[in-house]
Amino acid sequence: MVSSTTDRYTRIERRIYGGREARVRLAPDEIHVSWHAGQPAYYGVRVGDHLKDADRDVASPRIAEWEVTEITPERVVGEHVDTGERKEWERATLERALVGGNYATNLSDFETVAVHRVGSWSAHDDRERGRGYHGRPYVTVIVYGNNGEDYGRRYRFVEDGNETDVELREQDVSVERLSEQMRARFGEVVRETLEAEGYVVHEREA
């Protein structure tokens, strides 16, 4: 089952994979598939990215891995990173296989960021044990990578009553495991998004 919608910029097809809806962006030279209802999780593949014969983005000498050398509306071509062997996939089949966990891709970029404010100073009361959250307000940031995974941080306000100035409180262990390059990119994306939301980020990076 496929339905298609078009906006000014990008055509999107809705497809059913394994009983759930996936949204497939019809960009001719890159793959972009989101499949998780209510969340902007997605798989994205561009030329230069790697495809892995695994159900998630892991590294192992026993996992076959191809560097993507070509993407067209009909096919995807890769070259085995160890042997140089050429492999070709039908594009639609590969998109389905990514959602189904038959292939994975490496993390090379972050496209979507969600920022959530939790609590408020007006409701803040550390002694309150009633319904709802009454602790110190904080801000969570969830960043979605092109490998289908998400990476989170939590920020606290630097002073009681302050509505804008935040500093890093904690982050997911998965962030700490990123390469130096991707960790720097992650920090850049988070800072830009928070600033666009009106927050002032104070340096206390992990």
CA distance 2 to 23: 10
Start-end of H helices in 55-149: 91-100
From residue 11, give the alpha-carbon distance in Å to each of 27, 73, 96, 107, 113: 8, 13, 18, 24, 22
Q: Where are the beta strands (DSSP E) in the chain?
A: 2-6, 11-17, 20-25, 31-34, 42-45, 50-52, 65-71, 75-80, 86-90, 104-105, 110-118, 138-145, 150-157, 165-171, 200-202
Q: Is the separation of the CB atoms in 143 and 113 below 8 Å?
A: yes
Tell me the pLDDT tens digit for each residue of 87-99: 999 999 999 999 9
131 pLDDT more than 90: no
Closest CA relative to residue 53, chosen from 43, 63, 61? 63
What's the length of the chain?
206
Work out the pLDDT band at 140, boundaries 50, 70, 90: very high
CA distance 32 to 34: 7
Give the chain's mean pLDDT: 89
pLDDT of 135: 79
CA distance 156 to 69: 43
Residue with tokens 């793959």: 31
Return all residues near 157 (Cβ < 8 A) that are at least 6 apart.
136, 137, 138, 139, 163, 165, 166
Task: Report the predicted TM-score, pTM, of the whole model to 2 decimal places.
Answer: 0.85
83 pLDDT more than 80: yes
Return all residues near 36 (Cβ < 8 A) that are at least 6 apart.
none
Phi and psi, residue 135, nearest 5° = -75, -175
Q: Mean of the pLDDT values across residues 164-188?
A: 95
